[in-house]
Structure 1
Amino acid sequence: MDIKAAITHEKSADFKIENVELDNPKNDEVLVKIVATGVCHTDAVARDQDVPVPLPAVLGHEGAGVVEKAGSNVKSVEEGDHVVLSFSSCGHCENCLTGHPAYCLQFNKLNFGGIMNDETKRLSQDGEDVSSFFGQSSFGTFAVANERNVVKVDKDVDLSLLGPLGCGIQTGAGTVLNKLKPKSGETIAVYGCGAVGLSAVMAAKIVGCPTIIAVDVHQSRLDTAKELGATHVINGKEQDTVEEIKKITNGGTNYAVETTSVPALARQSVQALKPLGTSAVVGVTQETEFNIFEDILAEGKGLVGAIEGDSVPQVFIPQLIDYYRKGQFPFDKLVKYYELGEINKAFDESKEGKTVKPIVKMPE
């Protein structure tokens, strides 16, 4: 079928809205009419080839929509269901089987390799293959996804809002709730107040962390962090972050979530921990220098990576929606909507800090 999609032809080039051919779903796949999709930093790093994805490609990995068709082996959803699309995983490696699909042994191939679970492609243009992304490619009016990517959601919540739960918001909240698991009374610092960081702030409030410190360089985002649960905020351009955190906490935080992808902040997130503290890095951060003895070993600190909040999407995303319904997770305060033709503007305004979480709506 012919669809409209935002296609990436070259490294760092603007998205172009063009016609693309989408194949029918296979037996373990679904065809989804995309209603809206979130814009995530991971889309930008793929566009710019910081994480190589074969081009041309249709990016987008925070899709939400309605099932149009389900393959004969699909059991979890049916035509007409509302769904959120999340990351791809194989389902049979040891990490998938033990409840950690975000650490699937095939994760990089299935999400960044341009292929579906059966190692073929569903997208083409003028007879040439087009790469998929995260097994969904939701920057288009329709998407084909494996059943493992698909999360059924209740129909009483605005579907156009829910796409970002599939990656960015799941990552921030899940890093706190699933990976770090702070106990009531333990403290946390969150570096970067984009959608991932602010989701971590909201999750820390749900857990009951008495001290939640948000670090950013945009005052508007720090103000939002205060509104969403941060007890303290630090402007990294104006203050010594490590010194301020140690002053606020009398020695450092128990935990940190580093979302910025800035190498210097990854080190700061460890330096501002108290002894035995742990920092989780979720941003796509490149080479970073640490003094292992001073920064980590001497005080028994931990530095861990966190992918997709170590979540099982089919379990965790409905939990986040339940928190949202109860008023405990107001992620709707982060979003601004754009039309498909405004997708490049959405990326620009996200990079400039004007929008926390852009969501692109598809044409009817």
Structure 2
Amino acid sequence: MTEPLCTTALVVNEPGGDFVFTDVHLEAPRADEVLVRIVATGLCHTDLTVPTMLPAEMMPTVMGHEGTGVVEQVGADVAGIEVGDHVVISFRSCRACGPCEEGHVGYCEQALLLNYMGMRADGSTTMTAAEGDRAGQTVFGNFFGQSSFARHALAYADNCVVVDKSLDLTRLAPFACGFQTGAGTVLNLLDPAPGDSLVVFGAGGVGLAAVAAARGRGVETVVVVDPLAARRAIAEEYGATAIDPTVDGAPAVEEQVRSLTGGGASYAIDTTALPAVVLQAQRSLRNRGMLVALGLGAPEYTIDAIDLLSTGKTVRSSVEGESDPLVTIPELIALREAGKFDVDHLVTTYPFERIADAIADTKSGLVVKPVLVWGE
């Protein structure tokens, strides 16, 4: 049996705890696994939220689910991936259940086990602490089939997307989840025509990726609602109309949206997970319009039942923008190369050592999409 690899990971030791640099032993890849040397990993809201929700029994753990890197080892049963390949690592799916066979891999019946439980499907774990008083202690990982807040990660053929080696992996990391979710919702689910209208609530990485995809598709009327001036300015650079929801004395946000869209938006996307904002988004729609809620946070939303039942509106969610990463990520990269998905400027890179700064700058709105990068 091949000896485990000693590598460095950002470990969360207790629910809601800080990210702590820790040396860990990472098992060698099994027959269906791929060992990736991580180059960069996007910092996503989910990486900050999930550790506050996990029970102590699932700690310590390693987050990170927007990894990119270079393949160093490939298991015997893995096809289509070779040592030296550059990959974007996304979410996992079993590829065998009903939803997967229908092409809806984001709704895989094994999604919880494969992405969130901190272990392989057979219940085994991949890491142990390699230092100090915790040496030998189990470290939970396999988050989204990767746990890429580490110098090395184990991944799988179903969540590794091979990309051209000339591409900058630091710019592609958000394609694994955040950009894929926003853009995929527009392109795969809404599929708007140029004459349709879209309103996006929350101009973070997911929201602005949706804006970029809509504008790249040729949608003429795009409205963005966000309280931060810097975020609104970025939206306006895409050609969107931006609304500041905090202006005293201004008409209600939904009234402004209806005015800008000729009676209501064809589509709305919420990325905030704020119940009051979700309600605004619903009321901003035209008759038979669709609202897609993407934010993770509030356990419940309030829906205007009279509005819903009298207008034929649709309120739904979307997992990863209805994407199959093996299909959608290459498509988004091709759109990026063609100048129809302009998102590079949304990325700000930080050394992994500055993860605290990246978190603070994200929460303050100073940056849109932080990406953590390992040095030599």
Calculate the TM-score normalised by the size of structure 1: 0.96
Q: Which amino acid aligns with 1:359?
A: V
What residue in structure 2 maps to residue 71 of structure 1? Answer: 75
What residue in structure 2 maps to residue 116 of structure 1? Answer: 120
Structure with the greater alpha carbon radius of gyration: 2
User: 1:105, CA displacement in angstroms?
Assistant: 1.1
User: 1:44, CA displacement in angstroms?
Assistant: 1.0
- Deviating above 4 A after TM superposition, structure 1's stretches of 4 or more consecutive aligned residues are 50-53
- Partners of 1:267 and 1:51 lie apart in 2 by 31
What residue in structure 2 maps to residue 235 of structure 1? Answer: 244
Q: Which amino acid aligns with 1:48?
A: T
Task: Say which of 219, 233, 237 aligns to 2:229.
Answer: 219
Task: Say which of 98, 104, 109 aligns to 1:105.
Answer: 109
Task: Say which of 325, 332, 335 aligns to 1:323.
Answer: 335
User: 1:50, CA displacement in angstroms?
Assistant: 7.6
Alignment of 1:203 with 2:216, yes or no, is: no
Q: How does 1:132-143 map to 2 (within 5 A)?
A: 132=141, 133-143=143-153
- Partners of 1:216 and 1:52 lie apart in 2 by 35
Root-mean-square deviation over aligned CA pairs: 1.5
Calculate the TM-score normalised by the size of structure 2: 0.93
What residue in structure 1 maps to residue 94 of structure 2? Answer: 90
- Partners of 2:7 and 2:116 lie apart in 1 by 22
Residues 32 and 75, structure 2, Cα contact 8 Å, conserved in 1 = yes
Secondary structure of 2:242's counterpart equals strand
What residue in structure 2 maps to residue 42 of structure 1? Answer: 46
User: 1:117, CA displacement in angstroms?
Assistant: 3.5
Q: Which amino acid aligns with 1:130?
A: V
- Partners of 1:146 and 1:100 lie apart in 2 by 18
Residue 318 to residue 6, structure 1, CA distance change in 2 (3 Å): same
Residue 262 to residue 177, structure 1, CA distance change in 2 (3 Å): same
What residue in structure 1 maps to residue 132 of structure 2? Answer: none
Residues 46 and 52, structure 1, Cα contact 8 Å, conserved in 2 = no
- Partners of 1:363 and 1:116 lie apart in 2 by 29
Deviations 1:32-52 (Å, cap 9, x if unpaired)?
000000000111111222899
- Partners of 2:42 and 2:56 lie apart in 1 by 20
Residue 53 to residue 87, structure 1, CA distance change in 2 (3 Å): farther
- Partners of 1:179 and 1:226 lie apart in 2 by 24
Secondary structure of 1:139's counterpart equals coil
Secondary structure of 2:148's counterpart equals coil
Deviates more, 1:137-146 or 1:101-110: 101-110
What residue in structure 2 maps to residue 31 of structure 1? Answer: 35
Alignment of 1:178 with 2:191, yes or no, is: no
Task: Say which of 342, 353, 356 aligns to 2:365.
Answer: 353
Secondary structure of 1:341's counterpart equals helix
Deviations 1:302-354 (Å, cap 9, x if unpaired)?
01101111101011111111111122212111011111111121111111111
Q: How does 1:261-300 map to 2 (within 5 A)?
A: 261-286=273-298, 287-292=300-305, 294-300=306-312
What residue in structure 2 maps to residue 252 of structure 1? Answer: 264
Residue 143 to residue 274, structure 1, CA distance change in 2 (3 Å): same
User: 1:301, CA displacement in angstroms?
Assistant: 0.3
Q: Which amino acid aligns with 2:275?
A: P
What residue in structure 2 maps to residue 339 of structure 1? Answer: 351
- Partners of 1:86 and 1:155 lie apart in 2 by 18
Q: Which amino acid aligns with 1:235?
A: D
Secondary structure of 2:266's counterpart equals strand
Residue 318 to residue 213, structure 1, CA distance change in 2 (3 Å): same
Residue 157 to residue 131, structure 1, CA distance change in 2 (3 Å): same
- Partners of 1:107 and 1:57 lie apart in 2 by 18
Q: Which amino acid aligns with 1:288?
A: Y
Deviations 1:63-95 (Å, cap 9, x if unpaired)?
000000000111121000000000011111111
- Partners of 1:324 and 1:208 lie apart in 2 by 15
Residues 88 and 111, structure 1, Cα contact 8 Å, conserved in 2 = yes
Residue 121 to residue 63, structure 1, CA distance change in 2 (3 Å): same
- Partners of 2:57 and 2:278 lie apart in 1 by 25
- Count how many residue pairs are aligned between Structure 1 and Structure 2: 362
Residue 142 to residue 53, structure 1, CA distance change in 2 (3 Å): farther
Deviations 1:198-235 (Å, cap 9, x if unpaired)?
000011112221100011010100100111241x1111
Structure 1: which 5+ residue stretches go unaligned?
none
User: 1:130, CA displacement in angstroms?
Assistant: 1.4
Structure 2: which 5+ residue stretches go unaligned?
130-134
Residues 113 and 121, structure 2, Cα contact 8 Å, conserved in 1 = no
Residues 258 and 279, structure 1, Cα contact 8 Å, conserved in 2 = yes
User: 1:116, CA displacement in angstroms?
Assistant: 2.3
Residues 15 and 54, structure 2, Cα contact 8 Å, conserved in 1 = no
Residue 119 to residue 202, structure 1, CA distance change in 2 (3 Å): same
Residue 94 to residue 229, structure 1, CA distance change in 2 (3 Å): farther
